[in-house]
A and B are shown apart, each in its own frame.
Chain A
Amino acid sequence: MKTTAHLNKALRELLRTQQLAVLATQGGGQPYGSLVAFVATDDLKHLLFATTRATRKYANLLTESRVAIVVDNRSNRDSDFHEALAVTVMGKAQEVKGSERDRLIELYLSKHPYLEEFVMAPTCALLRVTVDRYYMVSRFQNVMELHVEQ
């Protein structure tokens, strides 16, 4: 279907070009939002981000792995209302370790080379979000759901 191909392309483009995303976690029923540098895997089934283990978001993820992430291309102008594309991602975050971690860090740093020191620090955890679905909002109010078959 034409729509699907078009959506996939727009989603890929957005995830490729945006550096930062808003991550939502929760602890004890209290939602918590933070900004993270992310990268998407080539099949768009996973997103990666890094955090040090002392952060509130990391603590939250230990008890509740379900997360929501918002990626968008707004430019803080009026035109955002008709131009901006926003994607809400729903999924589960898990810390990656061992050889898997080495492989994924390479991918992460290919997008964010300036974060090498940060990611390589022993206190820093690399987290992989397994995407359940994407909600894409375009033209102000059009919303499409993309269910990811893992």
Chain B
Amino acid sequence: MNTAIHLREIRDKDRNRVGGKGFALAIAARNRMNVPDAVVVSTEAYSNYVAATGLRERILLELNRKSFNEMRWEEMWDASLRIRNMFLNTPIPTQLSARLSDSVDKRFSGKAVVVRSSAPGEDSAKASFAGLHESYVNVRGTEAILEHIRLVWASLWSDAALLYRQELGLDVARSTMAVVVQEILVGEQSGVAFGKDPNDESQAVIEAVHGLNQGLVDGTVEPDRWTLDRRTGRVISHIPAHRDKAIVASTEGVRLEPLPPLKVGTPPLNKEEIAKVYDLVLVAERLFGRPQDVEWTFRGESLYVLQSRPITTMVTSESRDKRSWYLSLRRSFDNLRALRAKIEKELIPTMTEEAARLSDQDLTVLSDWELVEEIKKRSTIHRKWVDVYWSDFIPFAHGARLFGQVYNDTVRPTDPYEFMDLLGATEMTSMERNRMLEKLASIIRENPQLAEILIGDKRTIAAATGNDEFDLLLNEFIDRFGDLFHGMAQSTQQRSAIIRVLLEMASRPHTPKQTEPKDVEALKNTFLSHFQGEQRVEADELLDLGRTSYRLRDDDNIYLGRIEGQMLAAVEEGRRRIKNRARVDTDRLDVEDLIQALKDPDYVPKKTVSPETAKTDFRTKARQLVGQPAGPGIARGKARVILSPADIFAFKAGEVLVCDAVDPTMTFVVPLSAGIVERRGGMLIHGAIIAREYGLPCVTGVPDATSLIRTGAELTIDGYLGIVVLGE
């Protein structure tokens, strides 16, 4: 078995075992282009590793828990994280590791290298997608290099690769990965060049930055951009960058640094250098037979090719294919830092203000026509914030993922989600709300008289019960969180709905939360102990960013819920007004119909048709359903399936919450519940976060959960394995 082959020893027959990048570099070297010295770890090494360690079967089991068609991107990310952790925790078998060490030692003893993925077939234009697999810059020392080879192997199963599995022909049984270990060239200027602009075939494009091109590739450093005439090389346009920083090599890895003033004012390339890069892409095109996407760097006068691959365009129709958007969620630390400032300083204050302004308005004094305008206005406002939610809040949630990855890389925990315990030690708005509910319940618990008043007074809850502490606190609660209850029940029922939940809570003893705070401090110290000096400061900052991201993942739902609540309040007012008109089933009216009915007293709403269910001879019942283990523990209880928002008010203590997706309007029953089952999958979703906070067993990503499970069914939740069993 040829596990590591030097560039100069690569022959045409080795094409598949050295992968696309490795083969292209070998061809370039053979044709006397400047390429950094490199060794390619062959695909046989990967195959040997996954076969000998049993990893191949574990990957198979992980990826076959559920059909890909039923997986959300978040679930693919989770699966990918678990697989990555398997690679992190599975050492390379001694014999293979000895051979690899030998080759690496011989070639690079002590030198820094770049460890790049080189997937077979990626040199054919069809299967070449940039950025699906990982590469690591400035890795030093045999042990570190071997570890990064494993990480590159793991990236064969990255979330991005899983998204593009069909195009890649990804197949656990057959897919392999070669790895290029390349001497690092610390260039003064670097960049990429496209022999042919995908948007204009008559042009070529060069992008360049000062320093290493890592920053350009991941979007942290903005490049200068030149457009050239493809035939003559004449510069057509130059768009200078706002140059302020550069990626430079540091002792371990790379670092972002401010650019010295002299370089800020100078484009990375002069005229001669532009011409040299242009020549280089032409030579590459001639060599490989089609236009190339070349990564290059200048060291002194010499221009080096770091990698070359055919140009591909990912043609995706925006509406049908969300994958490129998912990939854009993978943000850098700097990008997330900026996003955090925007969210905390701008978006959330504006949102809170807007919700408060809307709630101050008295809807009952509006005429029908004015109300129509108000409903439209509020719908527009709501839609605007939903857009913000997708464009800013969801990408920011990636902060928790970024932290998770760094945590797993440094700490190597057996539980790939241990990092959530560290992130979870933060205050969330919903936790505060739940604490207030618990306080109210405890007042009822201690005052049997108060309980009697509340029970007897269910229909018309008086504003005052005579218990001042309770009345004050309840009013404060409704002031702060009452708007979340809009649209779930009529506003007049709001108060009684809250009281019903309080009575339910009071009917059983208070059980304090089970998470142990002592762990968190220890986890934090262990994590930080892996870093020193400047890096430690950064790690601390990353943790803080991760915590904010984690907390916001929960809170943003609540802020958005408030805006939605205001929109629904206007809709509710409209429904109330036309309810008195005969024969109109207002609960089923959609907003469009409602607006029509408000405008025109004679309007007859369209009939709503309920879909017919197919007839079969067999009555199908689920016995055991598999999802993702999202909160450890085991629990039994009767199911309470939430199909419409009002269902939540019937929730009884000790039941299992079964829903499509836990939203913030449901979380107040979580302290009452025995466990959570959710159709939507993922570890960083609302339900999983809340369940982990309360130490409740939780299974997410159960396909068809709300149709396969009926309210009242006896459930056993296995939160260790992610299994839900129905029946005795």
- Residues of A in contact (CB 8 Å), total 28
The 8 closest A-B CB pairs, nearest first, are A82-B64, A143-B624, A143-B623, A147-B619, A145-B621, A146-B618, A4-B620, A145-B623
A4–B614 contact, CB under 8 A? Answer: yes
Q: Which of chain A's residues 1-59 have a Cβ closer than 8 Å to chain B? A: 1, 3-5, 7-8, 43-45
A141 at the interface (CB under 8 A from B): yes
Q: Are A139 and B617 in contact (CB under 8 A)?
A: no
A-B contact pairs, 18 of them (CB 8 A): A1-B614, A3-B708, A4-B614, A44-B617, A44-B618, A79-B173, A81-B57, A81-B60, A134-B618, A139-B64, A140-B64, A141-B624, A141-B723, A142-B625, A143-B623, A145-B622, A145-B623, A146-B621
Q: Which residues of A contact B619 (CB under 8 A)?
A: 146-147, 149
A27 smallest CB distance to B (angstroms): 27
Which of A3, A44, A135, A139 makes the CB contact (< 8 A) with B626? A139
- Is B199 interfacial (CB-CB < 8 Å)? no
Residues on the A chain within 8 Å of B166, using CB: none
Contact status A3-B624, CB under 8 Å: no
- Closest A-chain residue to B64, C-beta based? A82
**Contacting A142 at CB < 8 Å: which of B613, B618, B626?**
B626
Partner of B66, one of A81, A83, A139: A139
Chain A residues in the interface with B (C-beta under 8 A)? 1, 3-5, 7-8, 43-45, 78-79, 81-83, 134-135, 137, 139-149
Interface contacts beyond A5-B616, A44-B617, A134-B618: sample of 18 additional A-B pairs, CB < 8 Å, sorted by A: A3-B620, A3-B704, A4-B614, A8-B616, A45-B617, A78-B60, A82-B61, A82-B64, A83-B64, A135-B623, A139-B66, A140-B61, A141-B624, A143-B623, A143-B625, A144-B621, A144-B623, A147-B620
In the complex, chain A residues whose CB is within 8 Å of the CB of B704: 3
User: B577 an interface residue at 8 Å Cβ cutoff?
Assistant: no
Closest to B67 in A: A139
Decide yes or no: A81 and B626 within 8 Å by CB, A4-B614, A43-B617, A149-B618 being known contacts: no
B618, A148: Cβ atoms under 8 Å? yes
Query: How many residues on the B side are at the interface (Cβ–Cβ under 8 A)?
Result: 25
Q: SS class of chain A's interface: helix, strand, loop or mixed? A: mixed
B299 sits at the interface (CB 8 A): no
Mark out the residues of chain B between 122 and 160 whose CB falls within 8 Å of any chain A CB in the assembled complex: none
A139 cross-chain contacts in B, Cβ below 8 A: 64-66, 626
- Neighbouring B residues of A149 by C-beta, 8 Å: 617-619
Could you tell me which B residues sit within 8 Å of A by CB distance? 57, 60-61, 64-66, 173, 613-614, 616-626, 704, 707-708, 721, 723
A residues near B721, Cβ cutoff 8 Å:
141
Q: Please give, as numbers and ranges, the residues of chain A lying within 8 Å of B723 by CB-CB distance.
A: 141
Which chain A residue has the least Cβ–Cβ distance from B173? A79
Complex interface: chain A residues within 8 A of B64 (CB): 82-83, 139-140
Q: With CB as the reference atom, state the residue of chain B lying closest to A143.
A: B624
Min CB–CB distance A76 → chain B (angstroms): 14
**Which residues of A have CB within 8 Å of B622?**
143-145
Report the minimum CB–CB distance from A47 to chain B (whole Å). 15
Task: State how many angstroms separate the Cβ of B203 from the closest Cβ of chain A.
Answer: 49
Chain A neighbourhood of B625, CB < 8 A? 142-143
Q: Report A-chain residues with C-beta under 8 Å of the C-beta of B60.
A: 78-79, 81-82
Contacts of B613 in A (CB 8 A): 1
Chain A minimum-CB-distance residue to B60: A82
Looking at the assembled complex, report how far the CB atom of A19 sits from the nearest CB atom of chain B, in whole angstroms: 24
Give Cα A103 to B443, complex, Å: 75
Considering the complex, give the chain A residue whose CB is closest to the CB of B721: A141
Assuming A1-B614, A139-B626, is B65 touching A145 (CB within 8 A)? no
Query: For the complex, what is the distance from the CA of A7 to the CA of B622, rounded to whole Å?
Result: 11
Which chain A residue shows the least CB distance to B66? Answer: A139
A79 to B712 Cα, complex, angstroms? 37
Q: List the B side residues contacting A135 at CB < 8 Å.
A: 623
Residue in B65, B66, B620 whose beta carbon sits within 8 Å of that of A144 in the complex: B620
Give the residues in chain B near A146, CB-CB below 8 Å.
618-621
User: Cα distance A50–B205 when bound, in Å?
Assistant: 76
Question: How far, in Å, is A2 (CB) from chain B's closest CB?
Answer: 8
Q: Given A82-B61, A82-B64, A140-B61, decide whether A148 and B617 contact each other with a Cβ distance below 8 A.
A: yes
Question: A135 — nearest CB in chain B belongs to which residue?
Answer: B623
Q: Is the CB of B624 within 8 A of A81?
A: no
- How far, in Å, is B144 (CB) from chain A's closest CB? 33
User: Closest Cβ of chain B: how far from A11's Cβ, in Å?
Assistant: 9
- Cα A144 to Cα B725 in complex, Å, equals 10
Interface centre among A1, A44, A134 (most CB of B within 10 A): A1
